[in-house]
Structure 1
Amino acid sequence: MKRSSGALARTSALLLVLFALSGAPAHAGSWVHGSYTNLWGSRGFQLWVPTGYQPGEALPLVVALHGCFQNPDQFAGLSRLNQKADAEKFLVLYPNQATLFNGTQCWNFMIATNQERDRGEPSIVVGMVDWVKSRYAVDSRRVYVGGVSAGAVLSSILLACYSDVFAAGMVGAGAMYKAATTASGSVYAMAFGSIYSPDDRGADAWACSRKPRWQVPVLVLHGTEDDVVNPINGEQAVRQFLQTNDYGDDGANNDSVPYAPTRVWSGRSTGGRDYLVKEYAYAGRLLVQKYELKGMGHAWPGGDPSYLFADPSGPDATTLMWDFFKQHIR
Structure 2
Amino acid sequence: MEPTMPLTPLPSATPHSPAPTPSARRPRRHPALAAVLSVLALLAAGLGVLAAAAPAGAAGLTQVTSFGSNPGNLAMYEYAPAGLPSGAPLVVAMHGCTQSASDYFTHSGWQKYADLWGFALVFPQTSSANNSLSCFSWFDSTKDTRGKGEAASVLSMVSSAESQYHSDTHRVYVTGLSAGGGMTADLLADYPDAFAGGAVDSGLPAQCAATQTAASQCQYGSMNLTPAQWGDKVRSSDSGYSGPWPRVAIWQGTSDTTVQPVNATELRDQWTNVWGIGQTASGTQSLPGGTTLSVYNDPQGKPAVELYQISGMNHGLAVDPGSGTEQCGSTGSYYIDTICSSYYTARFWGLDGSGGGGGGTGTLPAPTGLTVTGTTSTSASLSWGAVSGAASYTVYRNGTAAGSVTGTTFTDSGLTAGTSYTYTVAAVDSSGTAGPASGAVTATTTGGGGGGSGACFTDNNYNQVAAGRAHQSGGYVYADGSNQAMGLWNVFTVHTLKQTGTDFYVIADGTC
Match of 2:318 among 301, 308, 312: 301
What's the counterpart of residue 141 of structure 1?
Answer: 170
Give the count of matched residue pairs.
284
What's the counterpart of residue 290 of structure 2?
Answer: 274
Determine if contact 2:290/2:311 at 8 Å carries over to the other structure: yes
What's the counterpart of residue 181 of structure 2?
Answer: 152
Determine if contact 2:196/2:245 at 8 Å carries over to the other structure: no
More helix by share: 1
Single out whichever of 295-304 and 224-233 deviates more from structure 2. 295-304
Determine if contact 1:264/1:279 at 8 Å carries over to the other structure: yes
Single out whichever of 34-43 and 125-134 deviates more from structure 2. 34-43
Match of 1:311 among 336, 351, 355: 336
Determine if contact 1:37/1:43 at 8 Å carries over to the other structure: no
Q: CA deviation at 1:191?
A: 1.0
Determine if contact 2:120/2:165 at 8 Å carries over to the other structure: no
Consecutive unaligned residues in structure 2, runs of 5 or more: 1-54, 321-328, 357-512
Determine if contact 2:109/2:319 at 8 Å carries over to the other structure: no
* In 2: Cα distance, 1:260 partner to 1:306 partner: 34
Determine if contact 1:264/1:277 at 8 Å carries over to the other structure: yes
Consecutive unaligned residues in structure 1, runs of 5 or more: 1-25, 247-256
Across the aligned residues of Structure 1 and Structure 2, the Cα RMSD in angstroms comes to 1.9
Paired letter, 2:312: G
Q: Deviations over 1:122-145 (max 9, x none)?
A: 111011100112222201111000
* In 1: Cα distance, 2:106 partner to 2:144 partner: 29
Paired letter, 2:173: Y
What's the counterpart of residue 376 of structure 2?
Answer: none
Match of 2:101 among 48, 64, 72: 72
Greater C-alpha Rg = 2
Determine if contact 2:70/2:152 at 8 Å carries over to the other structure: no
Q: Does 1:199 align with 2:228?
A: yes
What's the counterpart of residue 346 of structure 2?
Answer: 322
Paired letter, 2:165: Y
Q: CA deviation at 1:298?
A: 0.4
Q: Structure 2 matches for 1:176-195, cutoff 5 A?
A: 176-195=205-224
Q: CA deviation at 1:225?
A: 0.1
TM-score, with length taken from structure 2 = 0.53
SS of 1:38's partner is: coil
What's the counterpart of residue 84 of structure 1?
Answer: 113
Q: CA deviation at 1:73?
A: 0.6
Q: Deviations over 1:58-87 (max 9, x none)?
A: 210000011111101100111121122111
Q: CA deviation at 1:42?
A: 2.6
Q: CA deviation at 1:193?
A: 2.9
SS of 1:75's partner is: helix
* In 2: Cα distance, 1:306 partner to 1:320 partner: 18
TM-score, with length taken from structure 1 = 0.81
Paired letter, 2:121: V
Match of 1:216 among 246, 262, 278: 246
Q: CA deviation at 1:175?
A: 0.7
Q: Does 1:107 align with 2:127?
A: no
Q: Does 1:234 align with 2:234?
A: no
What's the counterpart of residue 52 of structure 1?
Answer: 83
* In 2: Cα distance, 1:266 partner to 1:63 partner: 28
* In 1: Cα distance, 2:212 partner to 2:126 partner: 17
Give % identity.
24
Paired letter, 1:235: T
Q: CA deviation at 1:223?
A: 0.2
Q: CA deviation at 1:180?
A: 1.5
Q: Deviations over 1:153-173 (max 9, x none)?
A: 111011111111000110100
Q: CA deviation at 1:37?
A: 5.2
* In 2: Cα distance, 1:110 partner to 1:211 partner: 23
1:196–1:120 Cα change, 3 Å: farther
* In 1: Cα distance, 2:178 partner to 2:223 partner: 15
Paired letter, 2:334: F
Paired letter, 1:324: F
Determine if contact 1:173/1:223 at 8 Å carries over to the other structure: yes
What's the counterpart of residue 441 of structure 2?
Answer: none
SS of 2:339's partner is: coil
Q: Deviations over 1:249-289 (max 9, x none)?
A: xxxxxxxx22211112223x2xxx21211110021210000
Runs of 4+ in 1 over 6 A off after TM superposition: none
* In 1: Cα distance, 2:218 partner to 2:99 partner: 21
Larger relative contact order, structure 1 or 2 (CA cutoff 8 Å, min sep 6): 1
* In 1: Cα distance, 2:154 partner to 2:200 partner: 16
Paired letter, 1:102: N
Q: Does 1:260 align with 2:280?
A: yes
* In 2: Cα distance, 1:86 partner to 1:43 partner: 26
